[in-house]
Amino acid sequence: YIVTNNHVVGNADTVKVTFEDGSTETADVVGTSPGYDLAVIKVDASGLPASTLGVSDQVNVGDTAIAIGSPLGLQGTVTTGIISSLDRPVTAGDGGADASYINALQTDAAINPGNSGGPLVDGEGRVIGVNSAIANLGSSLGGQAGSIGLGFAIPIDTVKRISTEIIDTGDSQTPIIGANIDNRYDGEGAQVGEVTAGGPADKAGLENGDIITAVDGRTVADFTELVVAIRDKGVGDDVTLTVDRGGDESEITVTLGASSE
């Protein structure tokens, strides 16, 4: 099994994998998760070396970060830097149903088009993330600009959870609170537009018009920060939402439901 980005695989059923020794194999696409920008493919081969996985929850700002990939088609390129930020809310893709919301590790290791799907490793060579997106001077993510020291990787803890689901079932589940968010709201937090009847939020007592300002104590400034905070959890997890209802603040515990991708 090989993990890469969903935007690398696209809508393909099979892809060609080239190994370091120049040999190639045809890989079947086991499954994808557009929301997390992850895909799992499988080759019919044995004896392949496997990377050692780290724990992204133990990563700190300032830690060594090394990106491996084929930027601009230059196979086997290694670039180095540090972890610049943790839990960076990033939206990648073309928007709409194909948008990915990433609770990202940010690094200043040079990442360019062609690094996508490659590993971000720590100073001991353990994989701590999967390179996914870059910022460009146009302030959009996932574009084709060169590196300006703003690269983003999907944390390996999230990768392990999603890839295991895909390997086991061919699919993945996206955690949801069961409410639509009002995109017209431009204040601090994320305002609930409509609570889904009978869904997790409804059962927990969330109401239309409530403003969610934090998830498990993590401040939520806008819609994107709410989505990445929820998607950092797993289906069935309990999360505590800090809610502003008409000026009165309270906490509501929601058991996350599932949306299959």
Q: How far apart are CA 62 and CA 168, in angstroms?
A: 35
User: If you write DSSP's letter for every residue of 185-217 in order, what string do you get?
Assistant: --SSSEEEEEEPTTSHHHHHT--TT-EEEEETT
- Which residues, 6+ apart, have CB-to-CB distance to 215 below 8 Å? 226, 229, 230, 239, 240, 241, 242
Q: Torsion angle of alpha carbons 214, 57, 38, 260, nearest 10°?
A: -50
3-state secondary structure of 227: helix
80 touches 126 (CB < 8 A): no
Active-site residue among 33, 116, 147, 163?
116
Is there a catalytic annotation at residue 37?
A: yes
172 touches 122 (CB < 8 A): no
Q: How far apart are CA 56 and CA 76, in angstroms?
A: 23
* Residues found in the chain: 261
**Strand extents, DSSP E, 38-126:** 38-43, 64-69, 77-92, 100-107, 119-121
26 touches 62 (CB < 8 A): no
Positions annotated as catalytic residues are 7, 37, 116
